[in-house]
């Protein structure tokens, strides 16, 4: 009888927690208002490399992998009218760090992503070299299961980080021989 109770409790815990799943690409896409961009960037940005992400181990915790983040980045740039298959400007994203809580009711995840935008036609001149830090908190009201709450926090932070990139790109002013952020 005692073993049956223990087994029932373990089954209930497993049901409430489940297996970890990675951040979903579609939930990291920034689909906010299309911003105005310098004409040189429009339909002229190519995502060349995304690295630093981690694969999710279903028995452990949710992570943000390179493919999901790259897909979200490309879809966002496409929605903003910036993505090109082979554009003049090459964008590289490096997930430097994804700060995650170990336990708690509210899970705040903070992504640190370094974005490097280079000009292919100007000998690889760096147009933008920016590290964006973006926190996002998922509460117990968002999801009761901790594993799902962590995934939601990962996705929210990834989306907020991509939104930060979009804002930086909208501030860029590119003129022949002169690249700067709008003041």
Q: What is the pLDDT of residues 59-81, one digit of tens each?
A: 668 889 999 999 999 999 999 99
| Cross-strand partners of 135 | 110
Contact in structure between 106 and 138 (CB atoms under 8 Å): yes
What's the pLDDT tens digit per position in 118-171? Answer: 999 999 999 999 999 999 999 878 788 878 888 999 999 999 999 999 999 999
- Over the range 60-74, which residues count as b (16 or more CB within 10 Å of their CB) and which as e? ebbbbbbebbbbbbb
Q: Is the model more confident about 74 or about 6?
A: 74
pTM of the predicted model as reported, rounded to 2 decimal places: 0.83
| Cross-strand partners of 133 | 112
State the pLDDT at residue 147: 83
CATH class of 20-181: alpha beta
Reported as a pLDDT band with limits 50, 70 and 90, residue 10 is very low
State the pLDDT at residue 142: 78
CA–CA gap between residue 136 and residue 161 (Å, rounded):
9
State the pLDDT at residue 5: 65
Contact in structure between 131 and 113 (CB atoms under 8 Å): yes
State the pLDDT at residue 23: 78
State the pLDDT at residue 174: 85
Q: Measure the N-to-C terminal CA separation of the chain; round to a whole number of Å.
A: 72
State the pLDDT at residue 6: 59
State the pLDDT at residue 89: 97
Reported as a pLDDT band with limits 50, 70 and 90, residue 100 is confident
- Residue 72 tokens read as 């979200």
How far lies 159's CA from each of 42, 105, 107, 113, 164, in Å?
21, 21, 16, 11, 9
Grouping H, G, I as helix, E, B as strand and the rest as coil, residue 155 is helix
Grouping H, G, I as helix, E, B as strand and the rest as coil, residue 52 is coil
Residue 12 has pLDDT above 50, yes or no: no
Domain residue limits, the chain: 20-181
What's the pLDDT tens digit per position in 79-96? Answer: 999 999 888 999 999 999
């Amino acid at each position: 009888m005692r073993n049956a109770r223990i087994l029932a409790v373990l089954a209930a815990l497993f049901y409430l927690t489940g297996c970890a799943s990675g951040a979903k690409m579609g939930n990291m896409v920034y689909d906010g208002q299309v911003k105005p961009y310098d004409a040189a960037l429009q339909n002229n940005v190519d995502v060349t490399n995304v690295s630093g992400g981690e694969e999710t181990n279903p028995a452990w915790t949710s992570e943000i992998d390179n493919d999901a983040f790259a897909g979200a980045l490309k879809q966002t740039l496409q929605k903003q009218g910036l993505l090109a298959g082979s554009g003049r400007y090459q964008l590289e994203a490096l997930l430097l760090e994804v700060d995650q809580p170990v336990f708690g009711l509210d899970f705040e995840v903070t992504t640190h992503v370094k974005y490097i935008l280079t000009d292919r036609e100007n000998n690889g001149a760096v147009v933008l070299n920016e590290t964006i830090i973006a926190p996002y908190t998922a509460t117990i009201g968002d999801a009761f299961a901790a594993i799902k709450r962590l995934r939601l926090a990962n996705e929210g932070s990834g989306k907020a980080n991509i939104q930060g990139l979009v804002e930086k790109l909208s501030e860029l002013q590119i003129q022949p021989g002169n690249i700067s952020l709008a003041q």
